[in-house]
Each structure stands twice: as C-alpha cells, then as structure tokens.
Amino acid sequence: MSSTFKQVGSLVFNQQEGTIKHARTDEDLAKYIVKIAIPIHFLAKSVTVAIDSTGVKDSSGQFELISELLKHLSHAYLEAYADSPSATDASVDVELYNYSDSAVVAKVTFAGEGGFKKTSDIASDIKALVGKVLGGRINVTTASGTSGATQVFRSIVLVLIYDLTK
C-alpha cells in the first residue's frame, strides 16, 4: 500500500490533498492544483444540414460513459460552433444525447445565428449517467420557411474537467 505523504528534507508532500508543508512547523507552504480538461469530440469535421424541415439531421460520436471518467470530474460543458445559417428563421438544437434512455442531457440552441455556444456546468448531470451511451446530435426544432436553407456546424465537444487534487 503506498503512502500519500512523501518527505524530502523538511518538506512534506501530501499527494492526496495536493499540499506542501514544512515538516517542523506544519505550515502550509504551497498547494499545487492539478486540473486537466479533456475534450471529447462528437463532431470534429464540418457538416452542412438542411434547416428547411424539422428533425434530427446528424448524430455522431457515441461512446459509453464508464465510471473511470467520473472519479475526479469537477466540471463539464457541452460546446458547439456553427456558421451563420443561409436563412435566419430556423431554430437548431445541438444536443448531448443519452442514447441508452432516449433523452436529451443538455443542449445549446442556434436561433437564426451562428457562433460559439456553451452550456452551464453539467457535471452533476453527467455523473448520473454511468454506463449510458452518449453522443452528439443536431436537431432542427423550428424549420426555416426558405426552401433549401442550410447551416454548417463545425464542432460539437463535451469538455470534461478533472480536479486531481480531490
């Protein structure tokens, strides 16, 4: 069994807490924060979707959410980037979709515009989905009245942020 404490001279490194203390005075000298962001790309290429009719236009990047991905998870965000549409009267949801339960976990909406969109923190929602198959979807919820209208989506990313000092 390995110890979480390592002493080097008068310094004590606590690997579990992420701290460095003075051995004789027990004074906190430093706290090293180890955070890592892992992007999971559901869509890593451009896809042009028709926005003149409703429905799911693209689904990609399905994977099973295993418990090891959640151990040190502190924050999570769904991010998407799209170009401006050819018509501005459509509404398109970019979704983090739970294929196991047929449910939307989180979404960002492009209502006649392009740009970068990001959800609020969805870590608590993600932690409840161990063993589920997740993926990205592009779902036109309000169709454009312009025949042949399209929108280009350039990325759908689930960003998982880990705090390894916890």
Q: Hey, what amino acid is at 88?
A: T
Report the domain count for the chain. 2
CB neighbour list of residue 130: distance below 8 Å, 6 or more residues apart: 65, 66, 67, 70
- Same domain for 121 and 141? yes
Using the structure block, give the residue that is written with the tokens 């310094």: 11
Q: Rounded CA gap, 144 and 141, in Å?
A: 10
46 in the same domain as 2: no
What is the average per-residue pLDDT within 61-77? Answer: 93
Residues 71 and 25 in one domain: no
Chain segment 95-129, per-residue pLDDT in tens: 999 999 999 999 999 999 999 999 999 999 999 99
Dihedral sign (CA 72, 43, 99, 141): positive
Q: State the pLDDT confidence band at 2, using cuts at 50, 70 and 90.
A: low
pLDDT in tens, 32-55: 677 899 999 999 899 999 999 999
* Among 80, 93, 68, CA closest to 158: 80
List 8's β-bridge partners, or say none. Answer: 11
Domain that holds residue 1: 1-32
Q: Work out the percent of the chain whose per-residue pLDDT is above 90.
A: 73
